[in-house]
Structures are given as structure tokens and as C-alpha cells.
Chains A and B, each alone.
Chain A
Amino acid sequence: MQDLTQCPDCQGFVPAGFERCPNCDRGFSSGPLRRVAAAALSVVTGGAVAMTLMACYGGAPQAMGPMPEKPSTCREGAEAPPPGSPGADPNAKPCSEGPTNSIATGESEAPKPPPPGS
């Protein structure tokens, strides 16, 4: 599994060691730009990758919290502003996924081990 970073411009992933974003072609290769870019890039994988399993003949996973009491309305704009943006709750917890480096963040579920003998 490759180490990937995320391009600060297009948000696409960038394999470690790449000097340009494969998606938007932003460069990370020289002088001050490289330092700024390196600071902006964060490693999002590193030996452990969490994934939400899907299969096309199954359905989407359901959240495991309590069932909503009434059907979703079609009201737009109910989403909380993203962290760090104006109006965001400074005490809001980070998203439970965050970086997919699940060991570093401890945010993904540990796999349920199969029973002995399996």
C-alpha cells in the first residue's frame, strides 16, 4: 500500500515522492514552494488503511446510531460548517474518519478477530 498525501489545491491524493499532483499538476518540487506545500500536505496513509466495505449486490452501510425519529426533510443547509470555517463549533469533535491512518488516529474500528481455530 502506498503512502498518500492530499493535494492542498484539488484535494486529490498524491503518492509519496511525487513532485506534482497527478490530478491538477500542482508542483511540490522547488524551494519555498516545496516547503509550503510540504507543510500543507499531510500523510493520509501509513501502514494502515481503514475502508468502508461495499459490494454492489448489497446496500450502503447504515449508521449505527439511533434511528431517526422522522423521515429526513429536504431542507438544504442543515449541515454544520466544516471545522475551522467561520461559524464552526471550536469544540466540535473531529470527524471520526479523519486520516485513514487508523493506527495513528485510533478512529477506525479495530477488526473483530475471527474466533479461535477459524
Chain B
Amino acid sequence: MTHRRLDVVHERFFPAYVVWELTLACDQACLHCGSRAGSARANELQSDEAIRVARELAELGAREVVLIGGEAYLHPGFFQVVRALSESGVVTQITTGGRGVTPELARDLARAGLAAASVSLDGLEATHDTLRASPGSQRAALSALHSLRAAGIRIGANTNLNRRNRDELEALFELVCEHGVESWQIQLTAPLGRAADRTQLVLQPYDLLDLVPRIARVKERARARGVHVMPGNNLGYFGPEEARLRSWHPGGKDHFAGCQAGRFVLGIESHGEVKGCPSLQSPEYIVGSLRDTGLAELWRSEPRLAFRRDSRAIALTGFCASCPFGATCLGGCTFTAHALLGAPGDNPYCHYRARDFAKRGLRERLVPTEPARGEPFDSGRFRLLVEPLDAPEPELSRAARVQVTRPAVRRA
């Protein structure tokens, strides 16, 4: 089993699973990057500060810390942080695009105690390189997988599914298998950060009618090849495939049990700002800085971090308010719902919901109405249009055609 397996109903909340953006510096400029990574923030935690945070995480009982970026290995204190975490008994992983992962770096990571690495694969070669805005990017990612594995580090892959790569799911599965990946996380590209500037890239809710059953079938095939396929938190919910999607073992009966932000999940940004989940919109969900307040105090006493600890704290609205699974699902992934409709509690990215509309011959379409501001982890706004299920795909609206790309704010 895994360090991530928890009874999520009990109320002894602690940051079991932490995703820590060590730096916003990145060696790629992905078209769908939620944090708009590229340049380091001007005021990122220095190595000594980061090591202190690593100790605080261990003291709070963190089981696993995933270091991300940008590219975490671009932080000057990267190896020290990996070592501090692993020596404290925290399972330490990285998520990486892999471009700078050489055999030497992989061996150094293994010596520092890194347990596992997840390499982003966003499609077959042409698609991957397009989404990563970097020719040769996929070759580098596959090379990173081999270097990490050769160094004795467990390897996984992660994929953001969107309208650019959804048709490559099964072919990508073959690629994942060929490269010895042990676990594969699949999630939906939410319109967050740079993906919010490219609204034609993101899926429509009715795309889930086809996509979710395909993912469930891939998961079953993957088991036969020793690959664990696990859905990210924004993929679901409660269609007939729910148990197959979410269970680790065949025949398991797991299901989505609500957003765990601030309950057992914690996100840290590279300048020490804290939120309940790494993907939450920074302007709305940052609760404080580790430069000003200790992590234990923030965790215990900051009500905005605890907003998911009371299941009644967020009112379900729209379809979710009358959904038969609402009391368990609680509106699905918070940041995704917020990225679509500006608030949690009504989430159109839902398989049950799409099926319910389809049974009535209808579907929901997301129509962009407001662009994102152009900052890390920001989102724009959509409105929902209900239309016949067999309506033709409309021409991209003017708002969708416009690439609202703004240069990332360079602070360093």
C-alpha cells in the first residue's frame, strides 16, 4: 500500500501529504502550467529557511512531501531539503518535467534519499513538445525516467488530459508501459494559470462522457502490466466507474470523499506562503507565510486553512446542491470548481453530472467570460450554457480564440 492511504473521516487532521513548490524557476514554459512557472519569485525561501520548514513538516507528522516547481532541482538548496526531509523519515518525492535530470543528478538524488519521482508526460512526442513549448522535451522526459530508475528511484508519470491530448490516452498508456513506469496519475487540465489563457485547450464537461470510461478501461489494462493508474482529485465523480477509478486494488470500493485541502493535504509556495492544496488559487486561498508564522500555528489556528474541515462550511450550489452524492463528494475538487465558476460548491467537471444531463438529452458547455489576471495560480471565469446533447461543436467563440497570454511577471 502507500503512505497516502488514510481514513479521511476522523477529525485528527494533520498534513499527511504535502506538495511544496520549492522554486518557481523552470526550464520549460508549459502552455498549461497552473503556476505560470519560468522565473524564480524574488523572495523565495533561502536554503536555511527551507531546511527549517522541512523540520517543521516532520514535526507535524507529514508522511510524504512532494517537491515541485517550476523545477525543484533549480533551487540552490534542493539537495539539502531532500536530505533534511528524508533523514526525518518523510517519504520524499519530486514531480518534474525531467529536462535537467541527468544520470548524475539522479544518482545524487538517490544518495540524498529521494524515494520516488513522477515525470510529466503530456502526450505523444509532438503533442508533449507542443504543450511543453520545448522541442525535445519528451525525449528528455523519457531519458529522465531511465536515469531515475537506474539510480534506484521509483518512477511514476503524470498526465494532464485536455482537448489537445485526450485522443492519445491509449497510445500514451503504451508509452508509459514501455518505459517501466510504476504509477501513473491522470488528471484534467483545469483552466488555471496559463491554461486559463487557453480556454480552447480545456475539456468541456460532456467530454467526460467518453473520457472517464476510457480511463477506467486503461486502468484495468494497466493493472495487468504492473502499472498503478490513479486519478487526480479533479477527475470523477460517482459514475459507474468510480470504484474502478479510485481503488488501488481490483474489486476495491474506494470513492471520492471530498476535497482534503487543509485536512490531510497542504501546499507551500516557494516564498513560504501556505494554502490547503498546492493547486488552490493563490489570491483567494493563501492563509499566511512561514516567514511570519510557524507551520504548526498556521495549521492549528488559521480558519482559512481549515475551510474544508467542516463539511458544512461550503454550501453546495447549482447541480451539486441536489446531487444524490453531494453529501459525500462535497462538490469535488475545490480549485477546479473555483477555476470554472469562481467558487467551490458547483463543479461541472463531473461524470455523474454529465451523464445525468445526457440522460435528458442535454449537455453543459463552458463559455469563457472573463480572462485570468496573468499571475501564478489564477483563473478566469466561465458561464454554463445548457444545450442539446447532439448540438454541433460551435465555432470557437471570440473569447476562446483569443490567446490572452501575458508574460509571466519577472521578479527575479
What residues of chain A have their CB less than 8 Å away from a CB belonging to chain B? 1-2, 4, 6-7, 10-13, 15, 18, 22-24, 44-45, 47-64, 67-68, 70-79, 82-83, 94-100, 102-103, 108-115, 117-118
Once the chains bind, are B238 and A12 in contact (CB under 8 Å)?
yes
Instruction: List 13 extra interface pairs beyond A11-B243, A59-B93, CB under 8 A.
Output: A1-B257, A13-B243, A13-B255, A22-B325, A24-B240, A53-B17, A56-B187, A67-B152, A68-B180, A71-B149, A76-B225, A95-B247, A118-B299
Once the chains bind, are A51 and B324 in contact (CB under 8 Å)?
no
Give the distance in Å from the alpha carbon of A15 to the alpha carbon of B240 in the complex: 13
Closest to A65 in B: B1
Provide the residues of chain A in CB contact with B221, threshold 8 Å.
76
Give the residue of B14, B181, B228, B252 whose beta carbon is less than 8 angstroms from that of A63.
B228
Once the chains bind, are A58 and B19 in contact (CB under 8 Å)?
yes
Give the distance in Å from the alpha carbon of A21 to the alpha carbon of B225 in the complex: 33
Once the chains bind, are B249 and A95 in contact (CB under 8 Å)?
yes
Provide the residues of chain A in CB contact with B93, threshold 8 Å.
58-59, 62
Interface presence of B170 (CB below 8 A): no
Once the chains bind, are A100 and B253 in contact (CB under 8 Å)?
yes
Once the chains bind, are A72 and B225 in contact (CB under 8 Å)?
yes
Q: Which B residues, 240 to 266, have Cβ-Cβ distances below 8 Å to chain A?
A: 240-244, 246-257, 260, 264-265
Once the chains bind, are A12 and B116 in contact (CB under 8 Å)?
no
Provide the residues of chain A in CB contact with B327, threshold 8 Å.
1-2, 15
Comparing B42-50, B60-68, B124-132, the segment that makes contact with chain A is: B60-68
| Per-residue interface assignment for chain B, residues 287 to 309, with 1 indicating a CB less than 8 Å from any chain A CB and 0 otherwise | 00000000010011000000000
Give the distance in Å from the alpha carbon of A46 to the alpha carbon of B93 in the complex: 33
Give the distance in Å from the alpha carbon of A8 to the alpha carbon of B221 in the complex: 22
Interface presence of B231 (CB below 8 A): yes
Closest to A6 in B: B253
Provide the residues of chain B in CB contact with A51, threshold 8 Å.
5-8, 246, 254, 256-257, 260
14 A-B residue contacts at CB 8 Å?
Answer: A1-B328, A15-B327, A49-B8, A50-B5, A54-B233, A55-B277, A61-B5, A68-B180, A74-B174, A83-B251, A97-B253, A97-B254, A102-B7, A111-B7
Interface presence of B411 (CB below 8 A): no
With A55-B279, A58-B66 known as contacts, the answer to whether A96 contacts B248 (CB < 8 A) is yes
Interface presence of B355 (CB below 8 A): yes
Once the chains bind, are A53 and B260 in contact (CB under 8 Å)?
yes
Once the chains bind, are B61 and A113 in contact (CB under 8 Å)?
yes
Provide the residues of chain B in CB contact with A48, threshold 8 Å.
7, 9-10
Once the chains bind, are A57 and B66 in contact (CB under 8 Å)?
yes
Interface presence of B224 (CB below 8 A): yes
Once the chains bind, are A1 and B9 in contact (CB under 8 Å)?
yes
Give the residue of A10, A57, A58, A83 whose beta carbon is less than 8 angstroms from that of B240.
A10
Interface presence of B34 (CB below 8 A): yes
Provide the residues of chain A in CB contact with B66, threshold 8 Å.
55, 57-59
Interface presence of B184 (CB below 8 A): yes
Provide the residues of chain A in CB contact with B112, threshold 8 Å.
none
With A18-B324, A22-B324 known as contacts, the answer to whether A52 contacts B2 (CB < 8 A) is yes
Q: What's the least CB distance linking B270 to chain A, in Å?
A: 12
Provide the residues of chain A in CB contact with B59, threshold 8 Å.
115, 118
